[in-house]
Amino acid sequence: MKAIRLILVGPPGCGKGTQAKRIEDKFKIIQLSTGDMLRKAVAEGTPAGVKAKAIMEAGQLVPDDLIISMVGDRIAQPDCQAGFILDGFPRTLAQAQALDRSLKARGLRIDAVIEIRVPDEDLVERITGRFTCAQCGQGYHDRFQKPAREGICDKCGGSQFTRRADDNAETVRTRLKAYHEMTESIIPHYERQDILRVVDGRQGIDQVSEAVSAVVAAL
Ligand code: AP5
Ligand code: MG
């Protein structure tokens, strides 16, 4: 199968992580979530994690140089040679340009950028209701995506769940502001490259998955 390189873009809570995991399972393309990488670095207390912790808890963007080198190192690894889904990166025009340069230097390019479009007013409920299996990382929602058996992860049977430090109504507003001020400007960048595809993220999770899968299957 040919290597597919995708970007998922959209505001906090639009469903990037949910859909990236589904594409990973269905098309066997690895998910690279910069938020997950940073949370791991914070938990392990690495130098990058120490730098990022307070910035993430405040809902702001971590510095471009930190994130660009983190992603650059990751996508150079052998398991990314068969393709990848970037979830949460790039988030600034400088990050998008750095990614273009680093791929171009190796004769590679992004195949598609999928924008998951959801209005701001729907996002606070999605984010404040989110929880995750502590064992396997499967995402859930208090209302929209409950485990089949309460308290037990559908995927791995785990019974411990976590909620993110930045998933509160106040921080969500800062994250939304960062999205509109810093991240939205990458969309015309990819529109100009003719690789932007827009999916209506207000639909249910399965409907969004169908639309996203149709884009990937057509590549
Ligand atoms: P990150 O972890 O990427 O957070 P985010 O962009 O704010 O996005 P989320 O993970 O909150 O949402 P999502 O779109 O993945 O939604 P999900 O699928 O979980 O980044 C965190 C922080 O790290 C940033 O604030 C920043 O500080 C830093 N950072 C990361 N990358 C960076 C970068 N490149 N540059 C600088 N800083 C960076 O869904 C949300 C909930 O809704 C779930 O509970 C889910 O079950 C539910 N749901 C999903 N889809 C639907 C649907 N269709 N209908 C109903 N419910 C749904
Ligand atoms: Mg996410």
Q: Spell out the per-residue pLDDT of the chain, length 219, in tens.
A: 789 999 999 999 999 999 999 999 999 999 999 999 999 999 999 999 999 999 999 999 999 999 999 999 999 999 999 999 999 999 999 999 999 999 999 999 999 999 999 999 999 999 999 999 999 999 999 999 999 999 999 999 999 999 999 999 899 999 999 999 999 999 999 999 999 999 999 999 999 999 999 999 999
Structure tokens, 68:
């660009």
User: How is residue 212 written in tokens?
Assistant: 């996203």
State residue 200's pLDDT score.
Answer: 98
The answer to whether the beta carbons of residues 134 and 162 sit under 8 Å apart is yes
Closest CA to 99 of 78, 80, 116, 118: 80
**Ligand 1 pocket: which of 18, 95, 115, 128 to mutate (most atoms within 8 A of CB):** 18
What pLDDT score was predicted for residue 34? 98
> How much is the pLDDT for 179?
98
Tell whether ligand 1 has an atom less than 6 A from the beta carbon of residue 85: no
Burial 117-155 (b: 16+ CB within 10 A, else e): ebeeeebbbbbbbbbbbeeebbebbeeebebeeeeebee
Which tokens belong to 208?
A: 């969004």
In short, whether 53's Cβ falls inside 6 Å of ligand 1 is no
Atom index in ligand 1 nearest the CA of residue 116 equals 14
Q: Whose CA is nearest to atom 34 of ligand 1?
A: 89
Residue 106 falls in the annotated catalytic set: no
Q: How far is CA 42 from the centre of its chain?
A: 17
At 2 the pLDDT is: 85
